[in-house]
Amino acid sequence: MKDFFKKLPEQAVRVAVVFLVFVAVVFVIRQFIIPPEMKEPALQQASSMEREVAKEIQYAGAQICEQCHEKEPQIKKIGYHRDLSCESCHGAAQKHVENPTEVKPTSPKKRDYCAYCHKYNSSRPTGFPQINPDTHNPRKPCITCHNPHNPKPPTTPRSCAACHAQIERAKAASYHALIACSVCHTAPEKHKTSPRTVIPTKPDKREFCGKCHDKGSPRKGAPTVDMAAHGEKYVCWQCHYPHTLGGI
Ligand code: HEC
Ligand code: HEC
Ligand code: HEC
Ligand code: HEC
Ligand code: HEC
Ligand code: HEC
Ligand code: HEC
Ligand code: HEC
């Protein structure tokens, strides 16, 4: 046996020693250092459940407020903010629910809070009510004119840009800048107060654009094309989107 080791080249012995040390280290790490939860999926699940359950509950949920507050949920249900939960404005309120008289939730009374959702941002969906906080009745808190639980504007919005600001801005930089929205869309007044129940019209035929752009059109100032040959059978806005022409 001794001879056998003697016969081995010295390097092989070293490699063997290094290998044994490596195996020993791996064994020690696996056995004693890595916690059992990291090796056993069942243990891991149980321990993360335990950890999450031990966390303090912060939010009370969307339903519970109604149990003690009658008025605000009733008002909110019928208004524009019906889909916002109470805690999205009043903050995490579990502590308040547990101890209503001692712990009071905050009420966001400053302008910048409302602006968080309503400040103009071109990535918001078309039709979402947006304002420019610097020019929209500056300095007064929003809640002097809008009830936060039913923020119906005190008067009907004047312009289409109130909710279609992105289109308004694109159009302002296009060839159609001087053509009012109402030339191409018939929007009943009620669309401005219940936008999803009354939908305005949209042009649906090539001839609509032809009113100004047909080569025989009596209108002055608009470049004309031969409607019969130009763009063939396609509707014009498949190639020229009328809000963005020549603009962005
Ligand atoms: C167990 C009953 C109870 C529940 C549930 C409850 N509240 Fe209250 N809340 C109260 C009471 C009582 C007051 C204090 C009224 C007072 O001071 O006159 C109060 C006051 C408030 C106030 C006014 C704070 C102030 O400064 O005057 C707000 C805002 C409020 N609650 C929001 C909520 C929200 C949001 C929820 C749901 C997450 C909720 N509450 C759930 C009982 C409750
Ligand atoms: C869009 C944000 C917003 C939402 C959503 C909201 N609130 Fe409020 N709430 C406010 C603001 C802002 C005030 C402060 C109003 C004021 O001082 O005139 C307030 C005030 C209150 C008050 C105190 C009323 C008082 O007379 O002092 C209660 C209670 C309350 N809210 C409960 C609720 C409940 C319950 C819900 C959910 C049904 C809810 N709020 C949803 C913004 C909101
Ligand atoms: C978490 C986002 C959020 C916050 C914060 C918020 N709102 Fe709203 N607001 C909405 C949504 C969503 C609508 C409904 C939009 C719709 O019907 O398409 C809305 C609608 C409105 C409208 C209706 C405009 C119209 O003519 O259609 C007004 C006014 C308004 N909010 C004012 C406020 C005020 C004032 C505050 C601050 C107290 C506030 N909002 C805070 C999300 C928010
Ligand atoms: C002095 C009263 C007053 C104040 C303060 C006020 N608004 Fe208005 N708001 C109105 C009126 C009036 C309208 C409807 C007419 C119009 O279009 O300007 C309106 C309309 C809106 C609309 C619908 C879109 C529009 O342009 O018509 C939104 C959204 C809105 N307000 C949010 C806010 C927010 C957010 C604040 C605070 C940063 C705020 N308002 C402050 C009076 C006010
Ligand atoms: C109070 C907010 C608001 C005002 C003000 C408003 N709209 Fe809208 N508009 C909407 C909403 C919300 C939609 C639906 C968007 C959706 O379903 O994606 C819409 C949809 C439309 C559509 C598309 C209809 C369709 O079939 O897709 C047109 C066109 C339109 N509005 C034109 C106008 C014109 C023109 C004005 C001004 C006279 C105007 N809107 C004022 C909120 C408004
Ligand atoms: C020169 C005619 C013209 C003018 C001016 C015009 N539109 Fe349009 N609009 C159209 C056409 C065409 C469509 C597309 C119809 C389709 O896709 O079926 C459209 C589509 C829309 C839509 C639905 C699709 C989208 O892009 O969101 C809305 C909302 C809308 N317009 C609002 C407005 C508003 C608000 C104004 C004024 C700021 C305006 N339009 C000005 C012709 C016009
Ligand atoms: C009320 C008249 C009117 C209507 C309706 C109208 N336009 Fe125009 N359009 C104009 C005018 C005026 C100009 C030229 C503006 C300028 O040169 O400053 C123009 C410019 C254009 C241009 C740019 C041409 C160039 O020089 O590159 C195109 C493309 C166009 N319109 C397409 C359309 C389409 C598509 C429709 C239908 C959805 C439409 N227009 C509806 C009046 C109209
Ligand atoms: C298949 C795509 C396509 C369709 C559909 C289309 N156009 Fe065009 N249009 C173009 C192109 C490309 C140009 C620029 C080259 C040219 O002058 O032919 C143009 C140019 C124009 C011009 C500018 C002409 C000038 O003298 O400056 C007008 C106005 C115009 N189109 C209106 C329309 C109207 C109105 C319709 C619907 C009846 C329409 N287009 C349909 C692709 C199209």
pLDDT tens readout for residues 154-188: 888 888 988 998 899 899 989 999 999 999 999 99
CB 86 within 8 A of CB 93: yes
Give the per-residue pLDDT at 37.
85
> Which residues have a Cβ under 8 Å from the Cβ of 167 and sit 6 or more positions away?
126, 160, 161, 181, 243
Find the residues whose C-beta lies inside 6 A of ligand 2: 65, 69, 72-73, 76, 81, 84, 86, 88-90, 107-109, 143, 148-149
Find the residues whose C-beta lies inside 6 A of ligand 3: 80-81, 83-84, 88-89, 113-114, 116-118, 127-129, 142-143, 146, 148, 151, 153, 157
In a domain, 33, yes or no: no
Measured CA to CA in angstroms, residue 178 lies from 19, 32, 103, 165, 172 at distances of 82, 77, 56, 16, 8
pTM for the predicted model, two decimal places: 0.77
pLDDT 10s digits, 27-68? 999 999 998 888 899 999 999 999 999 999 999 998 999 999
Q: What is the domain range of residue 196?
A: 158-248
Ranking 74-88, 90-104, 193-207, 234-248 by mean pLDDT, the lowest is: 234-248
In a domain, 40, yes or no: no
- Determine the atom of ligand 3 nearest the C-alpha atom of 116: 5
- Determine the atom of ligand 7 nearest the C-alpha atom of 236: 35
Residue found under tokens 């712990």:
103
CB 127 within 8 A of CB 198: no
In a domain, 229, yes or no: yes
Measured CA to CA in angstroms, residue 62 lies from 84, 85, 89, 90, 120 at distances of 9, 6, 12, 11, 28
| Residue 142 Cβ < 6 Å to ligand 1 | no
pLDDT 10s digits, 74-111? 999 999 999 999 999 999 999 999 999 999 999 999 99
In a domain, 230, yes or no: yes
CB 163 within 8 A of CB 130: yes
In a domain, 70, yes or no: no
| Residue 183 Cβ < 6 Å to ligand 6 | yes
Find the residues whose C-beta lies inside 6 A of ligand 5: 126-127, 129, 157, 160, 162-164, 181, 185, 187, 191-192, 195-196, 199-200, 202
Could you give the number of structural domains in the chain? 1
Give the per-residue pLDDT at 2.
66
In a domain, 231, yes or no: yes
In a domain, 237, yes or no: yes
